[in-house]
Amino acid sequence: MSEVFSLPVIDDADIFWIEEALGLRFEGERRDVLRALDSGDVEACPGSGKTTLLVAKLAILARKWTARSRGICVLSYTTVARDELEKGVQRVPEAARLLAYPHYVGTIHGFVNSFLALPYLRSYHMGPIGVRFIDDDRCRAVARRIVWEDDRFEPIRKFAIMRAQSSSRKATAGAPQKTAMEVVSELCHALEYRGADLGLDLSAFQLKDPKQPTYKAMIKLRRRLRRLGCFFHNDMFAFGERLVAEAPQYPALIRHRFPCVFMDEMQDTRPLHAAMLSRLFPKDACALRQRFGDSDQAIYDGDRGEPEAVPVDAFPDTQARSLPRSNRFGGWIAARASAVAPSRRVMEGDALHRWGALKGEPTGSRGHTIFLFGPEAMHERPLQAFGALLCREFDGDTLRQGVFTAIGRVHAPPGQRARKADQLPHSVRDYWNRYEPDASRRTARPRVLADYLCLAHHRRTESGELGPAITELALGLIHLLEACGAPDFGTRHNPLRQLRAYASERPALWQAMHKWLWDCATMSTPPNPAAWPVIRVATEALVASHQEEGWHGPRWMEPIDAFLAWPTEAIVRPPEQPPRHLYAHDDENGRSVNIRLGSIHSVKGQTHTATLILDTFFHSCHIGRHFRLLAGRKSPIALDAQRLLYVAMTRPSHLLCVALRASHLGEGKAALGWERRLQDVGWRIERIAS
């Protein structure tokens, strides 16, 4: 700890340098934030250029950094935010130094793994603990397999059966009966370590007595997972807490290693993770700690089953700097979104986009439309009306190159839950029944075997080669073998080599797997329901050759049957079929536009050319019950719903639209009165005919 450290100073020459490097100008509050070298928080409105500003600051500091063994730590909550930062720093050669020692740029999870949890596991007093993977879904899958395969965990199976039988007696349309398999899955969600004592929280299942057989079996199951090297993401934070409890001096060592810390997307950080960050990097103990975010966009702040947490070092602090000016949209959208913002913080629209040039209206208030529809016009009509508006308002180049979206709070169908007439539209699919929720995910991965085969066919068609298809099929085969009781394969790197190594001492098995992979990869047509029985029989034959004694009993049939069954909605479609999250609209003049459907959560952080917000139902109608907010009036609204509406309203650069049932405005004079109030603040009202 002998290296002398002094914090670099940012002056006007540094700012001029980065402005030239990025081709930008930093003025006003942006320049103030760029120069600031005191610890504090920054509240940045949507489109304020927060990420660019942070990249500029990091580039200046990296350029002037002299310490060889002490570095800058940059943490973000999501991998998307981390990737955006990494791309930004790579634009400036001097900033690219941040991607190597002694600096760290990554997610909060990655930092805790690298600097706390894994060092603790390697130095465990009873011997190093190996880590095969850190993955919630795979960890639960291994736990489920153990419960159903090993009779030592029969108390858990009996508990699940009893709880399932109890749910059948209490089942209602809104709370359907649960199966024993579903109860086991819920129990597996409770296997995460909690706190420095590495305990389990089983209170949700009324399991509080350590002498109960089910309680003891759950503890034994958790120990089995640890011996196998299978861990949840939250386990790593528990190990981190354990390390700090056993070595109280450790946070000071971390701060010495990283005297400068920047945290991005702080509003989304969960209480458990925020508490760990505050323990490692308290504001007053760091040479420099700056946190960036927007509390009005905190749509991922639910506790997700975590124990009640007392806010520690809450974001933002009372002296937070503000970036209220948006480069994304103009003054009209800024005013409407400010009226919805939970903080009531006033934004300024500073975008000089070409909406005014298109319509000759600098305020850009002409096209922003509220579509009102009746129950009979709910399906597809609002999307048609939105598409027609886009074709009228934008030129051909913009229609081809722009990003046009229709988003709602609830995008997935409610499943078995009752859907009453006054709760419709319930989800995005009620506006278009061909919408496939998983299709809009950037990283949607196969869930069943048919998805793997569809994706493999797409890879072969796309590349013209068999290699990419066989890789996808090998991943599907690993998924199937693990479900059948094979030891967990761990990492998915080079799956074909993993399969060959797994069957190295069983030539007949490798021959069967090789034939299956080849047959599936060379199919002339994409998988379909008619051909699926033949594929399933071949797959079951392969599994039979893997299991020398066949299936592991009848309780194994349910999960394997589900994996082998042809799904009603596959997430991967053959390339000749249109994507199930894109709605195509063609007008009478031959102009067309693609509208991307999805959830509000899925578009956070994105910029769209135009956005249609679809009213959906979650306990209440998200927009319909609170439409007064659109007119700048007050309306009691739950904080999570308010934040979601704010996030949705701040996505578009040019055009903001809303679709909701006309009945929410009332009848007769009351409805006309609200229409006038909405028009007074700049909304255009369009009633959709039945």
> Is 48 annotated among the ligand-binding residues?
yes
Cα–Cα distances in Å, from 354 out to 364, 388, 391, 448? 10, 20, 16, 46
Q: Is 166 annotated as a binding residue?
A: no
Which residues have CB under 8 Å from 420's CB, separation 6+?
none
DSSP label of 665: G
Residue 50, annotated as binding a ligand = yes
Tokens of 277: 């960050």
Cα–Cα distance for residue pair 281/313, rounded to 1 Å: 10
- Check whether 49 is labelled as a binding-site residue: yes
Cα-based angle 96, 83, 283 (whole degrees, multiple of 5): 80
Helix (H, G, I), strand (E, B) or coil at 398: helix
484 is in an annotated binding site: no
| 176 DSSP 8-state letter | P
Measured CA distances, 542 to 455, 508, 517, 624 (Å): 20, 10, 11, 53
For 344-464, strand residue ranges (E) read 348-349, 369-373, 404-408
- Amino acid identity for residue 96 in this structure: A
**One-letter amino acid of 200:** L
How many CA atoms, within 13 angstroms, populate the side-chain half-sphere of residue 603?
A: 32
Residues 130/136/139/141 CA torsion (nearest 10 deg):
-160
| 44 marked ligand binding residue | yes
State the Cα–Cα distance between residues 87 and 59, nearest whole angstrom. Answer: 12
On whether 669 is known to bind a ligand per the annotation, the reply is no
Give backbone dihedrals phi and psi of 418, rounded to 5 degrees, phi first. -65, 145
Residue 46 annotated as binding? yes
Contact 34, 26 (CB under 8 A): yes
Burial class (CB in 10 A: 0-12, 13-18, 19+), 689: exposed
The radius of gyration of the chain's CA atoms, rounded to the nearest angstrom, is 28
Tell me the C-alpha distance between 293 and 657, whole Å: 26
Q: Which residues are annotated as a binding site?
A: 44-51
Q: Which residues are annotated as a binding site for ATP?
A: 44-51
